[in-house]
Amino acid sequence: MAKITLDNLAHSYLSNPASEDDYALKELNHDWEDGAAYALLGASGCGKSTLLNIISGLLQPSQGRILFDGKDVTNAATAQRNIAQVFQFPVVYDTMTVRDNLAFPLRNRGRDEAYVSDRVQEIARMIGMEDMLNKKARGLTADAKQKISLGRGMVRKDVNALLFDEPLTVIDPHMKWELRTQLKKLHNEFGHTMIYVTHDQTEALTFADKVVVMYDGRVVQIGTPQELFETPEHTFVGYFIGSPGMNVIPARIEGTRAYLDGSYVELGRGYGALDGKVEIGVRPEFARLSQSEGLPVKIRRIEDVGRHKIIRADFFGHDINIIAGEDEQVSADMNRVSFDPERVNVYADDWRIKGEAA
Ligand SMILES: Nc1ncnc2c1ncn2[C@@H]1O[C@H](COP(=O)(O)OP(=O)(O)OP(=O)(O)O)[C@@H](O)[C@H]1O
């Protein structure tokens, strides 16, 4: 496995990019730790595939370098990078059996048949295809073919990295969960450096040690699922992760207070003068409804989603969502919302401001 270094990396599909807006991938410096499982998460068109294709060598970056364990591979072809890739749609050899498909990368590397046989058996067990090993791939469902692609991607232990581009798109929903769990198990067992592209937050948060969130060609945060939840570094991370996402409300900050439409909330930290668009962000999990404490709101709707209730409220034209326990009673006179001060984040032009301990 290898540490992957991105050094001043950027990419534009235009031959003469004039401004930052012309870059599908904006400048990025980052070390992907050896042996860690990363998810690359973001909405469609944010640049995930562009970044993955640069790492795999399918795309030559217009700026910067990429290094595997300190060795510059920017100009190396995919085949020279010693990586395994699994794409959105199955890539299998139809005329071969499931066994031969799984064995292919190992035989290609000249591994002896005893090893190939053991390893294929092990992988077949992980993807739940032990009893299909002698079947031809032709005629299998898309679902089964994609499992073969996943298995083939994982069969070699000696690759520098395993890259997955939305690999579970064609997989049946209940099997998705199972395969994700298997991938995680496999990662724990073999410690491959894994990069997994997805636009699905559940997939990213359950699979990865660290999630790389992209927005508009830029990496806006790299963090553990807990960090993304507690301290979104950019308002996009707040909106995109969580269900519902973080509440973001325009505010004026003075010291340890945020003033909002004639009311104020206490902040857990102190702040100096802030320029630009200033907002506070609070997750619905850290908002509380009561009769007497906090901002005046109008309740618009209460949704019972089983595990908890989502209360949709309005604060002078701004949406505020509150998550309340399943057993919590909500009455018509509960028209105030308060926040845990420690959980209120402050943003200037969408980026989180750290503040000083109060
Ligand atoms: N070959 C190309 N030529 C020109 N522009 C491209 C090309 N490939 C992608 N783009 C543009 O680059 C931006 C990033 O695309 P990219 O495919 O990397 O995003 P993504 O996050 O992987 O999206 P998706 O999840 O839809 O695949 C988009 O604006 C896209 O239109």
Residue 176: CB within 6 Å of ligand 1? no
- Identify the pLDDT of residue 131: 96
Q: What is the SS3 assignment for 172?
A: coil
- Identify the pLDDT of residue 1: 66
- Identify the pLDDT of residue 332: 84
Query: Residue 31 burial by CB count (10 A; 0-12/13-18/19+): exposed, middle or buried?
Result: exposed
* Segment 214-233, tens digit of pLDDT: 999 999 999 999 999 999 99
Place of tokens 């591994």: 111
Residue 11: CB within 6 Å of ligand 1? no
Tell me how far the alpha carbon of residue 49 lies from the centroid of ligand 1, in angstroms: 7
* Segment 27-36, tens digit of pLDDT: 999 999 999 9
pTM: 0.90
Tell me how far the alpha carbon of residue 143 lies from the centroid of ligand 1, in angstroms: 25
User: Are 211 and 228 within 8 A, CB to CB?
Assistant: yes
Domain ranges of the chain: 39-61+77-240, 247-357
Write the secondary structure of 43-84 as one string of H (helix), E (strand) and C (coil): CCCCCHHHHHHHHHCCCCCCEEEEEECCEECCCCCHHHHCEE
Distance CA 324, CA 308 (A): 6
Residue 15: CB within 6 Å of ligand 1? no
Is the pLDDT assigned to residue 64 strictly greater than 90?
A: yes
Q: Which helix (H) or strand (E) holds 151?
A: helix 142-154
Superfamily of domain 39-61+77-240, CATH level 4:
P-loop containing nucleotide triphosphate hydrolases (3.40.50.300)
- Identify the pLDDT of residue 175: 81
CA atoms within 13 A on the CB side of 191: 6
- Identify the pLDDT of residue 250: 97
Is the pLDDT assigned to residue 358 strictly greater than 80?
A: no
Measured from the Cα of 14, ligand 1's closest atom is 4
- Identify the pLDDT of residue 113: 97
Residue 61: CB within 6 Å of ligand 1? no
Tell me how far the alpha carbon of residue 242 lies from the centroid of ligand 1, in angstroms: 25
Tell me how far the alpha carbon of residue 217 lies from the centroid of ligand 1, in angstroms: 9
* Segment 257-268, tens digit of pLDDT: 999 988 999 999
Which of 15, 16, 41, 49 for a ligand 1 pocket mutation test, highest count of atoms within 8 Å of Cβ?
A: 49
Residue 333 φ/ψ, nearest 5 degrees: -85, 5
Predicted ipTM of the assembly: 0.97
Name the closest-CA residue to atom 6, ligand 1: 13
Query: Of the CATH numbers 3.40.47.10, 3.10.20.740, 2.40.50.140, 3.40.190.10, which one belongs to the domain with range 247-357?
Result: 2.40.50.140
Name the closest-CA residue to atom 7, ligand 1: 13
Percent of the chain with pLDDT over 90: 81
pLDDT category, 301, cuts 50, 70, 90? very high
Residue 259: CB within 6 Å of ligand 1? no
Is the pLDDT assigned to residue 287 strictly greater than 90?
A: yes
Name the closest-CA residue to atom 24, ligand 1: 44
Residue 57: CB within 6 Å of ligand 1? no
* Segment 94-134, tens digit of pLDDT: 999 999 999 999 999 999 999 999 999 999 998 889 999 99
pLDDT mean across residues, the chain: 93
